[in-house]
Chain A
Amino acid sequence: MSEELLKVLKAAGLDVLSCMQCGTCTGSCPSGRHTGLNTRRILRDACKNRATVLSDEALWLCTTCYTCQERCPRGIPITDALLELRRLAVKEGFMLPQHRLISKMVLECGHAVPLDEETKKKREELGLDPIPETVQKYPEALQELKNLLKACKFDELAAEK
């Protein structure tokens, strides 16, 4: 795995090796002010090919606001690299239970946030159709979406390990 880390990042056009550990990323991070996310350290670990970075829960404290990426004086696509690290972590079997639930929602009804009774009433109050014009209104389209998710093997990825 450890060899793969830098290779995967590089293959995705995400070269992090030019990082000079200046800390602009961490200093700019809205999450890092309040949480355990230390972007500079994540980059250092990635540069050193430390696979332990993938099990670092702090990876999931990034809001993907892109401020670090915009401000990096070396122009490293930091947020994009972090997303790549997340995908590697998921491949290794890591997924927060709450995120697994969101995946299940999409697998079942095509939406991360499905329609509820309260909103149906609100829609009617506004004169809108209680069921919006999305995949949740069209059973055949929903089945098509499920087939697509299956073709991507997403059901397997999101299943409890």
Chain B
Amino acid sequence: MTKLALFLGCIVPNRYPGIENATKLCLQKLEIDASDLPEASCCPAPGVFKSFDKATWLALASRNIVLSERMERDILTICNGCYGSLADANLELKKDSEMKACTNSCLKEIGMEFKGTAEVRHIIEFLYKELGPEKLKNYVTIPLDLKVALHYGCHLIKPSKDRKLGETEAPVFFDELVEVTGAKSVDYTDKMMCCGAGGGVRSGHVAESLEMLEHKLACIRRAGVDCIVNACPFCHLQFDRGQLAVNEKFGTDYSIPVLHYSQLLGLALGFSPYELGIEQNAVQNIEFLAKIYEISAGLR
């Protein structure tokens, strides 16, 4: 199987280290060869950097890719934003020799060269394509009796011409990975809608960003689920920390737990909620924590 280097990005190591730990524990358990990627920076954040200056966006992204090229490993991302930025940059540089020459002239300043020998992977598409739901199921030791609102996030599957993960209105591959854990992926209104954070909107226009989030949360609450599952720490941050901000702004009382897929899978692979960092979330739903501790201890 492909050798990987784990790209952490910003939000995972610097805000949600539970996702980092959960990912590392899962990869180890699944016997996937994934090393650290020392010295990597911000991907850079596609919503802002890609919106500012193409040369800078490509230079920073390609520097991260070169770090993995030097290790002769493919990059593994656990964030839709990092995936979008790095995969798009990798693709552009591989197909556009003029752009590649221009980026390499910047990289030359720091003694680097983009060769185009590494691939950029996202943990969800990697698990689906390389392992597949059937094989993954063999590793599950604790089937999870949970109802889940799955949020794909935009840049995992779009733009579809580049992602090649199928159609984008009602995809199912990620739901299959969720159901491998024993959890039920519950359909809900506007499931494929954006969380409202991307494109620099959360940072630049927070009120509008929270309005979009509130709509999403209302739809999810109506579905009556135990938790939200995502594959993007920026969506995760929006759902988790944003939920508290929504409550403050709209006088609502949302308390929906939020899990990255690595954390959900980690539970099913037998790791405790504590080591997966689930308790470190901003949303503190005691009922849910009690439930997953009971599941984890084999009490339900």
Number of interface residues of B (CB under 8 A): 65
- Whether A133 touches B36, Cβ cut-off 8 Å, given contacts A144-B110, A145-B63, is yes
A150 to B93 CA separation, bound complex (whole angstroms): 21
- Whether A34 touches B212, Cβ cut-off 8 Å, given contacts A111-B41, A141-B39, A151-B59, is yes
A154 to B107 CA separation, bound complex (whole angstroms): 14
Query: B39 to A66, Cβ gap below 8 A?
Result: no
Task: Report if B87 contacts A (CB, 8 A).
Answer: no
A151 to B169 CA separation, bound complex (whole angstroms): 41
Please name all residues of chain B whose beta carbon is closer than 8 Å to the beta carbon of A69 when the two chains form the complex: 158-159
Please name all residues of chain A whose beta carbon is closer than 8 Å to the beta carbon of B54 when the two chains form the complex: 87
Please name all residues of chain B whose beta carbon is closer than 8 Å to the beta carbon of A138 when the two chains form the complex: 38-39
Task: Report if A83 contacts B (CB, 8 A).
Answer: yes
Q: How many Å from the CB of B56 to the closest CB on chain A?
A: 4
Task: Report if B242 contacts A (CB, 8 A).
Answer: no
Cβ-neighbour of A60 out of B20, B42, B60, B204 (below 8 A): B204
Identify which of residues 101-156 in chain A touch chain B, using a CB-to-CB cut-off of 8 Å: 101-103, 106, 110-116, 119, 122-123, 125-128, 132-135, 137-138, 141, 144-145, 147-149, 151-152, 154
How extensive is the interface on chain A, given as a class? 35 or more
Query: B208 to A133, Cβ gap below 8 A?
Result: no
Cβ-neighbour of A66 out of B50, B110, B158, B201 (below 8 A): B158
Task: Report if B13 contacts A (CB, 8 A).
Answer: yes
A135 to B13 CA separation, bound complex (whole angstroms): 12
Task: Report if A98 contacts B (CB, 8 A).
Answer: yes
Please name all residues of chain A whose beta carbon is closer than 8 Å to the beta carbon of B199 when the two chains form the complex: 60, 62-65
Please name 23 pairs of A and B residues whose Cβ atoms are closer than 8 Å in the assembled complex, sorted by A.
A31-B194, A31-B212, A33-B215, A63-B198, A63-B201, A63-B209, A64-B199, A65-B194, A66-B154, A66-B158, A66-B168, A67-B168, A86-B51, A99-B204, A103-B48, A110-B42, A119-B17, A123-B13, A125-B280, A126-B17, A137-B39, A138-B39, A152-B56
Task: Give A residues with C-beta under 8 Å from B.
Answer: 30-31, 33-35, 60-67, 69-70, 77, 79-80, 83, 86-87, 90, 95-96, 98-99, 101-103, 106, 110-116, 119, 122-123, 125-128, 132-135, 137-138, 141, 144-145, 147-149, 151-152, 154, 157-158
Task: Give B residues with C-beta under 8 Å from A.
Answer: 8, 10-11, 13-15, 17-18, 20-21, 36-42, 44-56, 59-60, 63, 106-107, 109-110, 154-155, 158-160, 168-169, 190, 192-194, 196-201, 203-205, 208-209, 211-212, 215, 275, 277, 280
Known: A111-B14, A152-B53, A157-B53; 16 extra A-B contacts, CB below 8 A, are A33-B215, A60-B200, A63-B47, A64-B46, A64-B155, A66-B158, A70-B158, A86-B51, A87-B51, A96-B200, A119-B13, A119-B17, A132-B14, A133-B37, A134-B39, A134-B40
